[in-house]
Chain A
Amino acid sequence: MADLLEIAGVTAGYGATVILEDVTAAVKQGEALAVLGRNGVGKTTLMRTMAGHTTLHRGRIALDGRDVAALPSWKRARLGIGLVPQEREVFPSLTVLENITVATGLHRRSGEAAKAWSIERIFELFPPLADRRTNLGTQLSGGEQQMLSIGRALALQPKILLLDEPFEGLAPTIVETLVAVFQELRRAGLSIVLTEQHARLALEMTDNAVALVRGRIVVRDSSAALLRDPQALEDVLTVRG
């Protein structure tokens, strides 16, 4: 099957600073890819580069075979790259519903019900949000904020969802809820890229994985294979050189 999202030979960073070097990775339709690595190896930068929030120095980024490297981030979002940032970043002065509809006017689009991700569908996925639809962004718990951040990305009708450490700082029960949502998103056919510091959790949820050390990919394997030998993976991730 053709690659949905493909990045090839990508060198990127912020301004003149280079963080990723010669990174190549691909995600197929319906595939979930884990991006592993310790703090500061470039996982977030990789996600942000896919979504168009960094400076691309070299390389190719394609969605559905179309080169998107030159497109601004909002156009990439409209084409179907939905980024859920680590900091969640809900808009404090907008209500839950407004947070979801503000960028795309989802509620007013014709044939809204026919969309893969209608408002109702998003609220079905996250019942706590439905109860709080008129609450302001500041009045949500951490878990609810994460749900809102994901729901807001779904309003784009994304082809691929980039989840940057979605479980960080959340209580175990909330993590369980979000893992269940993750499985449902996969069943709906969404491709997903997931970064996570805790390799085991990420590997259990995904098909394939790459691991970064100092901005380069050092491991590329199926998640199942990596799960079988966690020590080997650990050794690679902690390697210094």
Chain B
Amino acid sequence: MTKTRVLDAAVVVALVLYPLLLPGYLDLGTRMIVMALFAMSLDLLVGYCGLVTLGHAAFFGVGAYSAGILAIRASADPLTGLLAGGVAAAILGLLAGTVLLRSRRLTLIMLTLATVLIVQETANRMNWLTGGADGLQGIDMDPVLGRFAFDLFGRVGYVYAAAVLALGFLVFRAVVDSNFGKSLVGIRENEPRMRAIGAPVDTRLRIAFVMSAALAGIAGALQAQVTEFVSLNAVSVEFSGEILIMLILGGAGRRYGAFLGAPLYVFMQDYLAKEDPANWYLWIGAMLMAIVLFAPGGLTKWIGALVGRATHASPLPGRS
């Protein structure tokens, strides 16, 4: 318990220190935060339930479009937009989950892939509403809480995103630490056994799916608000794959995986795009391969093992 308390606090400290140490890179930091939130939502499915999906951007995108369209046509209040993005994605999650969760493994992956393609094509066709291939433009957000207007340097955007991520993490933490969260791990490890000991597996997976979709939708809404733009890429297969890579880099099913993987990926992407714009994907690929081969379980697991070795942790660590 104390160890996780310290690390939870470290997450908050990192969020506070970043703008103080790198005040010139607030936009990059904001992007890291949005991706961390999105990766965290995916972790609920991939890491905890053991359901691999290649279509999670469907929920991110629907959240982004909902918040963006709402801002243009009705209310530009940021918090209302977040709520709208979360609810819209949750509704899609409920519908999609009902169909998708009948399958597992490869079939599930294929169906999630199909889902994101359908959502993307729908967004493309409805260009009167979404801007289609040109993207959704003309978003102009009101000040946060009616007081803090988004500024050119991205200061308010950063603080706003950091606050949303911190709240999202509180929810995520409460879920994975709860008995419900433990039962998701049980389902991942042995689904028939969970049924045999009286757990309504289908209901619990559906709830997790909707939660994950809602969180992804909020991340999408956040992105739409801080960048004041939504492109079709937000609902793409490529983006769904990218977020999965971020999660795997950090470590799926591990409390801090999203917090490590997403910022690292975003940083590498930014750095490599400047240093070696022609081949940056190659380096990302090499990095992913190195992690999978030399640090299976992601960076968080690898670091955890290093620290464990350094401090000579007892050979049979219980969880306390």
Contact = CB atoms under 8 A, between A and B. Distances in A.
Interface of A: 51, 53, 72-74, 77-78, 82-83, 85, 89, 91-95, 98, 101-105, 107-108, 132, 134-136, 139, 152-153, 155-156
A159 B238 CA distance: 52
Interface in B274-319: 316, 318-319
A85 B196 contact: yes
Contact of A78 (B189, B194, B198): B198
A101 B316 CA distance: 22
Interface string B189-217: 11011111111110000000000000000
Interface stretch (B74-82, B112-120, B180-188, B258-266): B180-188
Contacts of A74: 194-196, 198-201
A82 B319 CA distance: 27
Nearest to B178: A105
B320 A103 contact: no
17 contacts: A51-B196, A73-B192, A73-B195, A73-B196, A74-B195, A77-B196, A94-B182, A101-B182, A102-B197, A104-B197, A104-B198, A132-B318, A134-B318, A134-B319, A135-B318, A136-B319, A155-B197
Nearest to B320: A134
A108 B193 CA distance: 21
Given A98-B182, A102-B182, A108-B179, A91 B195 contact: no
B183 A103 contact: yes
Given A134-B319, A136-B318, A102 B199 contact: yes
B198 A89 contact: no
A95 B318 contact: yes
Contact of B316 (A82, A94, A135): A135
Contacts of B196: 51, 53, 73-74, 77, 83, 85
Instruction: Tell me what chain B mostly uses at the interface: helix, strand, loop, or mixed.
Output: helix
A89 B196 CA distance: 11
A95 B185 CA distance: 11
A91 B198 contact: no
A153 B195 CA distance: 11
Nearest to B193: A89
B196 to A, nearest CB: 5
A153 B197 contact: yes
Contacts of A72: 195
Contacts of A77: 195-198
B195 A105 contact: no
Given A85-B196, A95-B319, A104-B197, 17 more contacts: A53-B192, A53-B195, A73-B192, A74-B200, A82-B197, A89-B190, A91-B186, A91-B190, A91-B193, A94-B186, A102-B182, A102-B199, A103-B197, A135-B316, A136-B318, A136-B319, A152-B197
Shortest beta-carbon contacts, A-B, top 9: A77-B198, A103-B199, A134-B318, A103-B197, A74-B195, A73-B195, A89-B193, A78-B198, A135-B318
Nearest to A104: B198
Interface string B80-117: 00000000000000000000000000000000000000
A105 B201 contact: no
Given A74-B201, A93-B189, A94-B185, A103 B194 contact: yes
Contacts of B185: 91, 93-94, 102
A49 to B, nearest CB: 13
A134 to B, nearest CB: 4
A149 to B, nearest CB: 9
A77 B199 CA distance: 8
Contact of A102 (B186, B200, B318): B186
A94 B184 CA distance: 11
A92 B189 contact: yes
A195 B192 CA distance: 20
Contacts of B194: 74, 102-103
A98 B186 CA distance: 10
B294 to A, nearest CB: 23
B206 to A, nearest CB: 14
A93 B201 CA distance: 18
Contacts of B186: 91, 94, 102-103
> Which of B189, B193, B201, B318 gathers most chain A CB within 10 Å?
B193
> Which of A102, A107, A134, A153 gathers most chain B CB within 10 Å?
A102
B192 A105 contact: no
A96 B140 CA distance: 53
Contacts of B183: 102-103
Contacts of A89: 190, 193
Nearest to A100: B197
B104 to A, nearest CB: 17
Nearest to B194: A103
Contacts of A103: 183, 186, 194, 197-199
Given A89-B190, A91-B193, A156-B198, A105 B179 contact: yes
